[in-house]
Amino acid sequence: MSNNLKQRFAQLVEAVAVRRDQQAFAELFDYFAPRLKSYLQRLGMEPSQAEEMTQEVMIVLWHKAAMFDPSKASLSTWLFRVARNRRIDALRRDRSDLLDPHDPALQPPPAEAADDIVEAEERDHLVRTAMLELPEEQVMLLQQAFFLGRSHSQIADETGLPLGTVKSRIRLAFSRLRRSLEQGDGDMTLH
C-alpha cells in the first residue's frame, strides 16, 4: 500500500473520528468491507457470518475511530486485528465448552515481516493500478470473484451472462493484468 493511500486512510479515519463524516466512512467501508469479508471467509466463516462480522468491525471503526493511531499501525492492520479478535470471541461464545486452547485458529498469527508487508502493499497498488486499464465488465467480474468470493456460477446467475462468458472474461482480464504488470515491473507476475 502506498504512503499516499495510508495517508488518505488516516485522513478519512480522522474525519470519521472528529466530524462523524459519513462520506469518509463510506469510502473506508467500500474499500475495507470486501477485504475483511474475504479474510474472514478464508478463516472458515460462512459468507453470511463473515458479512455480519465485517459489519461489526466497521461499526467498531465508526465508534472508535479516535482510538486509531496511524503511527502504531496501518488502518488495514488495525481493522484485520479487530476482525480476528471478534472471530475468536465469537468462537469462544459459540463453543466455549468445545474450545481447544491449542487450536491454531485461536493462536495469534506470527508477526509479519515489515518487508513482506511493504511488498504486499506495493503489489496490491500495482494490481489496482493495472485494473484501471481493464474494461469495466472485466473489473466487475474480477471484483465479484476475488473481492466478494463468488463462484463463476454465482456470477453467471447474478449477471445473466453465460458461464463460459464469465470464465473467458475473467481469463482475459487475468491475461491483460499479467501483461500490464510484466511491462510495469519485471518481478511482478500473477499466479
Block residue for cell numbers 468491525: 57
**pLDDT confidence of residue 57:** 93
**pLDDT confidence of residue 71:** 85
Q: Which residues does 158 contact at the CB level (< 8 Å), separation at least 6?
A: 144, 150
Q: Verify that 70 and 96 share a domain, yes or no.
A: yes
Q: Verify that 91 and 48 share a domain, yes or no.
A: yes
73 φψ region: left (φ > 0), alpha (ψ -120 to 50), beta (else): beta
The three cell numbers locating residue 182: 510484466
Q: What pTM, to 2 d.p., does this model score?
A: 0.50
What is d(CA 1, CA 5) in angstroms, rounded to the nearest whole number? Answer: 6
**pLDDT confidence of residue 185:** 55
Among 56, 78, 109, residue at a domain's last position: 109
Among 109, 128, 159, residue at a domain's last position: 109
Domain count, the chain: 2
Q: Verify that 82 and 50 share a domain, yes or no.
A: yes
Mean pLDDT to the nearest integer, 46-71 = 91
94-98, 134-138, 142-146, range with greatest mean pLDDT? 134-138
What is d(CA 161, CA 143) in angstroms, rounded to the nearest whole number? Answer: 16
Q: Verify that 124 and 167 share a domain, yes or no.
A: yes
The one-letter amino acid at 65? A
Q: Verify that 96 and 150 share a domain, yes or no.
A: no
Closest CA to 64 of 50, 78, 49, 84: 78
Q: Which is more confidently placed, 59 or 147? A: 59
Please, which pLDDT band fits residue 186 given cuts at 50, 70 and 90?
very low
Q: Domain containing 176: what range?
A: 111-191
Q: Verify that 133 and 92 share a domain, yes or no.
A: no
Q: Verify that 30 and 116 share a domain, yes or no.
A: no
Q: Provide the CATH number for the domain around residue 151.
A: 1.10.10.10
Q: Which residues does 11 contact at the CB level (< 8 Å), separation at least 6?
A: 24
Among 83, 109, 135, residue at a domain's last position: 109
Q: Verify that 42 and 100 share a domain, yes or no.
A: yes
Q: Residue 161 has what DSSP assignment?
A: -
Q: Are 57 and 40 in contact, with CB atoms under 8 Å apart?
A: no
Q: Verify that 92 and 54 share a domain, yes or no.
A: yes
Mean pLDDT to the nearest integer, 76-100 = 79
Instruction: Please report which residue ranges of the chain form alpha helices under DSSP H.
Output: 3-19, 22-42, 47-64, 75-94, 114-131, 136-142, 152-159, 163-184
What are the tens digits of pLDDT across the range 97-140? 555 667 777 777 777 777 777 787 888 788 788 888 888 888 88
Q: Are 12 and 81 in contact, with CB atoms under 8 Å apart?
A: no
**pLDDT confidence of residue 126:** 82
What are the tens digits of pLDDT across the range 19-38? 999 999 999 999 999 999 99
Please, which pLDDT band fits residue 1 given cuts at 50, 70 and 90?
low
Q: Verify that 130 and 187 share a domain, yes or no.
A: yes
Q: Provide the CATH number for the domain around residue 10.
A: 1.10.1740.10
